[in-house]
Structures are given as C-alpha cells and as structure tokens.
Amino acid sequence: MGQALKVDAATWEGAVLKTKGLIMVDFWAAWCRPCLMIAPTIEELATEYAGRLTVAKLNTDENPDVASRYQIMGIPTLIFFRDGKPVEKIVGAASKQQFKEKIDSLLAVS
C-alpha cells in the first residue's frame, strides 16, 4: 500500500471527514509546476508513514467546491486533518524534511 489516495468531491466526506486519525491532503493541479515537483515526495511520505498517516491528493481543478470550502488560494496547499477536522496547513512547496518535521510533530500529539 503506501500510495497517496486520490480523493474527489464524491469521496471527500468518507475518505477525509469521517476517517479517524491523521490525514494529509495535497491540494494540487496538473498545470502547477511546484505541485508536480513535490508529487514524488508526497508519494514517498505516503509509503514511509503508511499505517500512521493517510496521504490523500485532491485535484483542485476537478473539485473546485472542496478547494473553496477550505479557502485554497494557492497550490500546492497541504492540509492536515485529525479526526475530520483541519489542524495544520502548509502553503507552497517545501522540502521533504520540512514535511517530515510537520508530520512528526502532529503524530507526536495524537
């Protein structure tokens, strides 16, 4: 397993809002170069944190209603949800180490 889960408006509630534990959602678009740059890192994190963190990806062009609900103004934006509630946000591309530091700090308080 360990691959990022593709979510959309139809699966959002069940896959993100009704899931227990920590979920990292990558809001991205196919035309977004920074999104494409971090995509391999997001997949690596999905594998490395399998069983402790769910990693999901939502295409903002295909799901503008979900993106607007969370006030996504720039992409990539990563929102961390705990038990269906947003708890942290990272806007813009970041290094794998920066993502890991955020994930580790959130896992430490779960």
Catalytic residue among 32, 42, 55, 75: 32
- List, for residues 77-108, the tens digit of each pLDDT value: 999 999 999 999 999 999 999 999 999 999 99
Q: What is the pTM of this model?
A: 0.95
Each domain of the chain, given as residue ranges in start order, spans: 5-108
- List, for residues 53-76, the tens digit of each pLDDT value: 999 999 999 999 999 999 999 999
Q: Which long-range contacts (CB under 8 A, 24 or more apart) does 41-46 make?
A: 41/96, 41/99, 42/4, 43/3, 43/4, 44/96, 45/96, 45/99, 45/100, 45/103, 46/2, 46/3, 46/4
Q: Which CATH topology does 5-108 take?
A: Glutaredoxin (3.40.30)
35 is catalytic: yes
63 is catalytic: no
Catalytic residue among 15, 23, 35, 46: 35
